[in-house]
Amino acid sequence: MSIKITEECINCGACEPECPNHAIYEGGKKWRMSDGTTLHDKKNPHFFMNDIIENPPKKKDIYFIVSEKCTECVGFYNKPQCVIICPVQCCVPDNDNIETKEELFIKKNLLHGIN
């Protein structure tokens, strides 16, 4: 399952640098699968041109999480770091993007080029 950011976000920015997958973006920012991952490397067997193309922001006014990149911190930490650091507890489970731990591991390996 991915984590999502609710409308209670106060735009403090504390969560963004904590994400091991670079899945958190400031409102209004464009995002790429390759940001902060090995998917920018054309030698990566999982590389696709779409990975380096900029996508439109998912939110304009508050920080947002790219569910395609969020692994709930699986593979790095045993707890979601954004949930821990958010001062207003607005990082919550995203029930629209439910994945098993195994699927999250696969996603993490795709993002970081480990098979």
Residues within the interface to ligand SF4 (CB under 6 A): 3, 5, 9-15, 18-21, 23-24, 63, 65, 70-73, 80-82, 85-86, 88, 90-91
What is the CB neighbour count within 10 angstroms for residue 35? 19
Distance CA 18, CA 26 (A): 13
Q: How far is the CB of 26 from ligand SF4 (least distance, A)?
A: 8
Q: Are 95 and 23 in contact (CB under 8 A)?
A: no
**Between residues 23 and 33, which has the closer beta carbon with respect to ligand SF4?**
23
Q: How far is the CB of 109 from ligand SF4 (least distance, A)?
A: 14
**Between residues 42 and 77, which has the closer beta carbon with respect to ligand SF4?**
77
Burial 96-111 (b: 16+ CB within 10 A, else e): eeebeeeebebbbebb
What is the CB neighbour count within 10 angstroms for residue 15? 24
Q: How far is the CB of 6 from ligand SF4 (least distance, A)?
A: 8
**Between residues 2 and 42, which has the closer beta carbon with respect to ligand SF4?**
2
**Between residues 52 and 85, which has the closer beta carbon with respect to ligand SF4?**
85
Q: How far is the CB of 21 from ligand SF4 (least distance, A)?
A: 5
DSSP state of 91: E
